[in-house]
A and B are shown apart, each in its own frame.
Chain A
């Protein structure tokens, strides 16, 4: 495995033998069974690592070690149903596997050849059990381009990557002229997946053709709270991202690539390190790659907890060891970037898509998607949605398809209220936007933006003013503090929102908020401040009545804002059992009348003293009779 690959021929030979090997594994041609576990962050936190060890242990104990292998791969995407275990060659998918299920899977399936029925996914609509991944509704509308290899290959094994098309795009690129590589990417219509959607080929073409150092930087900061696309890609197939970086590096004439990854992503960082090491050992990084005169080195830099460092110029400052304060543009990084040299900054998903374009051709990529947004987009579906997870759908998929077909709808029979795309820079889309095909321009027209792909679904229990306040709090925390409109303006907006959610707002506050929001947008120095007011503007546009209810009626229609709601006991439903009173930290629950109650009679109902109640919500979950509600 540590043989150096020094020419295109050697690469091809290695790819075909690895691919054979991988196929044998999936199809059972090697005569073995293969247990594959999800090693993504979601599943790891539900003990998939221990489950894997348990498998190894049990398999060894039963003397199956030479007939069964146990492997770990990246995120399957369907995180809310994890941890997952897949058995090849049958391709059976078990979900929500626990430690105590391991014996049974080994006995029943691996030894007995029977499927463990109770661990299969159940389609919530039909109630039927589904044994194979591809038959699950969640996966049906997805196309995996950026996620190629994720959840399929062992991200720590370069041979599995080689077996799954890795470096085919690179090899193709290295045989082309640099300009032709850029042209190919231009033709594909690929737009940056980091947020703004700037055409990647155009960005590459801006890097001047001058001597001296140039850099390609991969933006893996992924600061959008509630998004984990880039993390999953780095964890699931780091080789693809490095390959994309190398193709970009070749195209712009860079010799060094920098990964800037959030320190909160230790698994991603570790897998990236291993991948770089493996590629160096294989001669795929370093001098004269594949016998060409292209030399490239990859470095890793860790973020240290600052959202604004996702902004490209702040990111460059951070790599340079400075405070992550954005720089004014121009000069653009393409002209004057890292250490003053021409630099191109690309997002993880963008780079993960590039190998596909070279490998399969621009035309094929461009055949997917809408007129102005080509290809697919990865979303991290989260919030109030059944199928929380990582999905990749073609551009042009409608929000309805995303939420109801892929996402499986809203849990608990609740009403859909809004979906926030674009994170703190984006906006809320509502019922009326459900038929909007998702692409860069449509989302902007609808008052939100694509952003990096976070998609948080909210239901009737979410208060939109509270959500706007949540984002503004986030922005205030994360503003770098450099420029006055953002540093002070966002604080002032937060103060107004806080007043409103506390029932102290006035109608003038709403006007002031609107005016401030538009000024902060126009006056701020970087994208963070320029987009910070979006959540406010979009919720004010779609949910003005909620704002007005807070201000005029002093009510929070969703019963979220503590000052504007109260807990009440329905005295007809209450049995007077006093369970709630015992758990109340504020001693706020009392008998309506403490009179003597004759034996056998219904106990008198309780009531909540709203002056004492601290609105902790403990009582509501204590009452077994559903007598307590929010108002």
Chain B
């Protein structure tokens, strides 16, 4: 590693060459306020100007430079705290605030708002500058994400994230000068644009301009109406919820989470892992059927609604390749309102299912017309991890002091390690392979772990398995940028795969659009490389839970077996199709 010698505030440091002043300062223990920069140049427009510091190179002048883009150089002398630099940063923030709808009190982002944070840090004065505001657009049409341009500081992070995750940016800068805004083309609603509602943009937005649409109110109402409110939680949530309560990233908090849910008044608390095992039974069977009966191949997983939105919009011609399985929580919701309700003697109309998800696209998914049976919706409300955090805080629960509790164990409490790893890219594939192997060979795959499909990044991974003479080629992609490569191969008739797993978010649900914000300025106790490591840390939380499970293959889930025996018959049976499978529509109304 090549290094350079610099001074910051009069202290000498040796830092890696090529770093920006901001990064170097961070390594040396300084936090320079910043808004538009994100994740080592993932977004580096140098547009907010709140990271200005004084820098002197050689005998050159002492100049104000944007530390987020200016590289360190040998002998550079950096001053962060000089009156000139602090005043400059404060002015930049004050100007931003003068064109900002400052109703922090009712803002979804309060407490996690980077703008408010830098305003406090820089000592921005209230109403320092006043004047006209840029015309405002508030988009609340989508059930997933809300866009409020009155809170937007035009940092461009969302644009970069959407672009990096999906290749095609749905969001972009529009107009210019004081009229500039960020939004989908023609300033349309997300519902009218090719947005896949994955929520990735909401995870990077520093302000309240992009947030999930909250559904907490609907739960209050369901309780008030005396419904039987059942909650089910996706595996990835436990890997991130702790962050809402200042646990180190990657701390699994399953036991406390369940305890909290009970205290919030849910009648039953289930793990969507049960649904995930069910999905594997259905999807594995579907795959084997396609392989053995010459069906459309490769088959592609269908559990990520972000990906499904993408498929319907951009690859309407390939919908036959997508597994007809509903996603796990939709399957489980359908089972709760049929099998479970019957068991409990409840009218399904009185049962209210809440899914806690790492995902904003699931909010849209649950509203799809296909997701109901006999007029009964599978799932009524989807909350993100972040919303659950808010709900817990709202109710006065001291999360850290909760005991560890366990899921309700009646008829759908059991789950396997295979289901847990659904939350990370490659997990569905691994879970499916464990079961497909068994189905083809009649015995368990000895090693259990298919490590070749593991990873937590957004690239493409592939593997080829010879299972008793049947060669199964598989590939995994997360984020639509990678998925596009595999999809174009199929479109051009060049795909060599049998089974493909696609996840909407880069890294899978552990990095979902509804997960806790990973904003270094709010994580003073994490390492400074947290943006590089958080995905791995969250993934490890899931893999370690898989390892701890005694049963690690979906087909060995006793309660799932019982469900088939008592209710569904076999995987892919007629009833299973009615309740657990769905159809896709490339002409979905929201796109017109």
Kindly list chain A residues whose C-beta atoms are within 8 Å of the C-beta of B131. 491-492, 495
Contact B96 A488 (CB under 8 A): yes
Known A483-B47, A483-B49, A523-B52; contact A488-B176, beta-carbon cutoff 8 A: no
Contact A484 B178 (CB under 8 A): no
**Hey, what's the 0/1 contact readout for B551-581 against A, CB within 8 Å counting as 1?**
0000000000000000000000000000000
- Which of B66-74, B197-205, B446-454 contacts the other chain? B66-74
Contact B91 A485 (CB under 8 A): yes
With both beta carbons as reference points, the residue of chain A lying nearest to B69 in the complex is identified as: A328
Kindly list chain B residues whose C-beta atoms are within 8 Å of the C-beta of A495. 131-132
Decide if the interface of chain B is mainly helix, strand, loop or mixed.
Answer: loop
Known A328-B46, A330-B71, A495-B131; contact A487-B177, beta-carbon cutoff 8 A: yes
Contact B177 A484 (CB under 8 A): no
CB distance from A495 to the nearest CB of B (A): 4
**Hey, what's the 0/1 contact readout for B27-52 against A, CB within 8 Å counting as 1?**
00000000000000000111111101
- Judged by a CB distance under 8 angstroms, whether B142 is at the interface is no
CA distance A325 to B177 in the complex (A): 10
CA distance A527 to B85 in the complex (A): 19
CA distance A492 to B52 in the complex (A): 21
With both beta carbons as reference points, the residue of chain B lying nearest to A322 in the complex is identified as: B173
**Hey, what's the 0/1 contact readout for A472-494 against B, CB within 8 Å counting as 1?**
00001111111111011111100
CA distance A523 to B51 in the complex (A): 10
Contact A491 B91 (CB under 8 A): no
- Judged by a CB distance under 8 angstroms, whether A306 is at the interface is yes
With both beta carbons as reference points, the residue of chain B lying nearest to A479 in the complex is identified as: B177
**Hey, what's the 0/1 contact readout for A572-583 against B, CB within 8 Å counting as 1?**
000000000000
- Judged by a CB distance under 8 angstroms, whether A16 is at the interface is no
CB < 8 Å A-B pair total: 92
CA distance A101 to B332 in the complex (A): 93
Query: Which residues of chain A from 308 to 337 have a CB within 8 Å of any chain B CB?
Result: 323, 325, 328, 330
CA distance A513 to B52 in the complex (A): 22
With both beta carbons as reference points, the residue of chain A lying nearest to B100 in the complex is identified as: A488
CB distance from B105 to the nearest CB of A (A): 23
CA distance A488 to B152 in the complex (A): 13
CA distance A323 to B173 in the complex (A): 9
Known A483-B46, A485-B49, A488-B98; contact A523-B173, beta-carbon cutoff 8 A: no
The winner among B91, B175, B179 for most chain A CB atoms within 10 A is: B91
Contact B179 A481 (CB under 8 A): yes
**Count of interface residues, chain B, beta-carbon cutoff 8 Å:** 34
Kindly list chain B residues whose C-beta atoms are within 8 Å of the C-beta of A525. 46-47, 49, 66
Contact B88 A492 (CB under 8 A): no
CA distance A185 to B179 in the complex (A): 43
Decide if the interface of chain A is mainly helix, strand, loop or mixed.
Answer: helix
With both beta carbons as reference points, the residue of chain B lying nearest to A519 in the complex is identified as: B91
Contact B132 A491 (CB under 8 A): yes
Contact B92 A492 (CB under 8 A): no
Contact A478 B49 (CB under 8 A): no
- Judged by a CB distance under 8 angstroms, whether A516 is at the interface is yes
Chain A: interface size category: 20 to 34
- Judged by a CB distance under 8 angstroms, whether B314 is at the interface is no
CA distance A516 to B92 in the complex (A): 11
CA distance A525 to B48 in the complex (A): 9
CB distance from A197 to the nearest CB of B (A): 17
With both beta carbons as reference points, the residue of chain A lying nearest to B70 in the complex is identified as: A330
Known A489-B95, A525-B47; contact A481-B178, beta-carbon cutoff 8 A: yes
- Judged by a CB distance under 8 angstroms, whether A415 is at the interface is no
Known A481-B154, A492-B131, A522-B64; contact A476-B176, beta-carbon cutoff 8 A: no
Contact B46 A481 (CB under 8 A): no
Contact B66 A328 (CB under 8 A): yes
CA distance A69 to B175 in the complex (A): 51
**Hey, what's the 0/1 contact readout for A514-530 against B, CB within 8 Å counting as 1?**
00100100111100000
Kindly list chain B residues whose C-beta atoms are within 8 Å of the C-beta of A306. 176
Known A495-B132, A522-B64; contact A479-B176, beta-carbon cutoff 8 A: yes
CB distance from B9 to the nearest CB of A (A): 20
- Judged by a CB distance under 8 angstroms, whether B56 is at the interface is no
CB distance from B98 to the nearest CB of A (A): 6
**Hey, what's the 0/1 contact readout for B127-158 against A, CB within 8 Å counting as 1?**
00111100000000000000000000110000
Contact A523 B178 (CB under 8 A): no
**Hey, what's the 0/1 contact readout for A445-489 against B, CB within 8 Å counting as 1?**
000000000000000000000000000000011111111110111
CA distance A524 to B52 in the complex (A): 10
Kindly list chain B residues whose C-beta atoms are within 8 Å of the C-beta of A478. 177
The winner among B99, B153, B177 for most chain A CB atoms within 10 A is: B177
Contact B175 A482 (CB under 8 A): no
Contact B69 A523 (CB under 8 A): no
Contact A484 B132 (CB under 8 A): no
- Judged by a CB distance under 8 angstroms, whether B180 is at the interface is yes
CA distance A522 to B50 in the complex (A): 12
11 sampled A-B residue pairs with Cβ under 8 A: A306-B176, A481-B175, A481-B176, A482-B180, A484-B49, A484-B96, A484-B154, A487-B177, A490-B178, A492-B98, A525-B47
Residues of A at the B interface (CB closer than 8 Å) are 306, 323, 325, 328, 330, 476-485, 487-492, 495, 516, 519, 522-525
Which are the 7 A-B pairs with shortest beta-carbon distances?
A: A481-B180, A328-B46, A328-B69, A488-B95, A519-B91, A479-B177, A495-B131
